Amino acid sequence: MKRRTMLAATALSLAAITGPGFAQSDWPERPVRILVSFPPGGSSDLVARLLSEKLSASLGAQFVVENKPGAAGTVAATALQEAAPDGYTFMLSNLTPFNVAPIRFPDTPYDPIADFDHITYVGTVNLALFAAPSTGLSSLEDLIAAAQADPGSYEYGSSGVGSWGHVIAEHFQNVSDTELFHIPYKGSGPMRLDFRSGVIPTMFDAVPQNLPSVQEGSAIALAVSATERLATLPDVPTFTELGYDVVAENWLGVSAPAGVPEDIKTKLDTALTEAMGSEEVVAQFDNWGLVRVPKTSAEFSDYVAGQLQQWTPLVASALE
């Protein structure tokens, strides 16, 4: 009798541990790591810190940001791929390590789609083409006309060979039948310095960090690479509406190594979506120029795969 009770108790507790309800009720039980592929301080890092603070509060376990910068984000993505899919390691994923670097570096050790679960879409930062006021250019058509009149005379800056700015600039030259002269930089900071001091007349750069210069009048945004006009630059046309198919979205999302239990993914997605709906987060995202269109988990997964399809030929042709 006694023995039977014990067996029953054992069976019950086993059921409790292995049963489907377990993770749902108990995850997270210990600190959760959020890998960030940038050094601390950048806007992606701030997004990760803001969201992990919200998740820590709503899910009752510490969400810790861990910066693993390097090699175009592939160091962080490789660490994510190698982590156990137990719901305790996630990454603030973005365009570069998942849609650009794997094409640029053929020895990248992971498959950006098959090796990961892309769980929640966070938002997007767009790229714009800026011209210095001293150039006298005030529209994209001006630049195209000037560049066609004297091919290769206009320099443009990008934040590096194989960066999204470079890839998109090469694509833009193809579709607009122009030839610009590429000056690559190590990141956006030194490029903006040279742009401001008149060394380079134009540059392709992310919108948010250039808004103060646009407001001041020291940078003119000719066109944005978004699907529709940005709330922060309502007077600036998109490339698409001017007739050039140039769209670039540096998306941010939350991804995990493939094989995380469904219920953990659901719980995380729900908590993240709720956090991103809060007034405080919406205000901060607006502040940082992060554009957010709600996407379900499945839509986000498809989106990442679609982006890879879209970027593959562009990256390959830019690096030719």
Partner 1 sequence: MDLFANLALGLETAISPITLLYCFIGVFLGTFIGVLPGVGPLAAVAMLLPVSFHLEPATALVMLAGVYYGAEYGGSIASILLNIPGTPSSSVTCLDGYPMARQGRAGLALFATSMASFFGAIFGVLVIVLLAPKLADFALLFQPAEYFSVMVLGLIAASVVSSSGALRGLMMVCLGILLGAIGIDVNSGETRFTAGIPELRDGVSLVVVAMGLFGVSEVMVSLRGATQSYAGARLSWRGFFPNAGEWRRSALPALRGSGIGAFFGTLPGTGQTVASFVGYALEKRINRNKETFGKGAIEGVVVPEAANNAAAQTAFIPTLTLGIPGSTTMALMIGALMIHGITPGPRLIAEHPDLFWGLIVSFLFGNLFLLILNVPLIGLWVRLLRIPHHYLYPTVIVIICVGVYGISNALSDVWLALGFGFLGYMLRLFRFEPAPMLIGFVLGPMMEEYFRRAMLLSRGDPMVFLERPGSAALLAAGAALLLFATFSPKQIACRIWGRKSQQGPAPRSSDGP
Minimum Å gap between C-beta 194 and partner 1 is 7
> Residue 160 interacts with partner 1 (CB under 8 A)?
yes
DSSP-derived secondary structure for 91-146: EEEEHIIIIIHHHH-TT-SS-TTTTEEEEEEEEEEEEEEEE-GGG---SHHHHHHH
- CA 163/CA 127 separation, integer angstroms: 12
Our finding on whether 305 is near partner 1 (CB under 8 A) is no
Specify whether the backbone of 246 is left (phi greater than 0), alpha (psi in -120 to 50) or beta: beta
* Cβ-contact 37, 73 below 8 angstroms: yes
Contacts of 296 (CB under 8 A, 6+ apart): none
312 C-beta neighbours (distance < 10 Å), count: 14
Report helix, strand or coil for 155. Answer: strand
* CA-based nearest residue to 197, from 208, 213, 181: 213
Q: Is 151 in the site for partner 1 (CB under 8 A)?
A: no
Residue 94's beta-bridge partner residues? 252
Per CB under 8 A, which of residues 247..276 are in contact with partner 1? none
Quote the least distance from Cβ 144 to partner 1, whole Å: 22
CB of 52 to partner 1, least distance (A): 9
Give the CA count within 13 Å in the CB-facing half-sphere of 308: 15
Nearest to 159 by CA among 125, 115, 117: 125
CB 123 to partner 1: min, Å: 15
Q: Does 54 bind partner 1 (CB under 8 A)?
A: no
- As a whole number of angstroms, the distance between CA 140 and CA 81 comes to 42
Residue whose CB is less far from partner 1, 210 or 238: 210
Question: Residue 101 or 246: which CB sits closer to partner 1?
Answer: 101
Given candidates 55, 74, 92, 95, which one binds partner 1 under the rule CB under 8 A? Answer: 74
| Residue number with CB closer to partner 1 (177 or 286) | 286
Question: Which of residues 61, 71, 146, 258 is near partner 1 by CB under 8 A?
Answer: 71
Window 282-301: contact mask with partner 1 (x via CB under 8 A): -xx--xx-------------
Query: Judged by CB, which is closer to partner 1: 26, or 82?
Result: 82
Footprint of partner 1 on 207-246 (CB under 8 A): 208-209, 211-213, 215-216, 218
86 near partner 1, judged by CB under 8 A = no
Nearest C-alpha neighbor of 51 from the set 37, 38, 34:
34
Report in angstroms the alpha-carbon separations of 268 from 63, 196, 261, 302.
11, 43, 11, 18
197 part of the interface to partner 1, by CB under 8 A? yes
Q: Does 46 bind partner 1 (CB under 8 A)?
A: yes
CB nearer partner 1, residue 54 or residue 265: 54
Q: Work out whether 85 is an interface residue with partner 1 (CB under 8 A).
A: no
Interface positions with partner 1 (CB under 8 A): 39-43, 45-46, 49-50, 53, 66-72, 74-75, 78, 104-105, 107, 155, 160-162, 181, 183-186, 189-190, 192-194, 196-200, 208-209, 211-213, 215-216, 218, 283-284, 287-288, 319
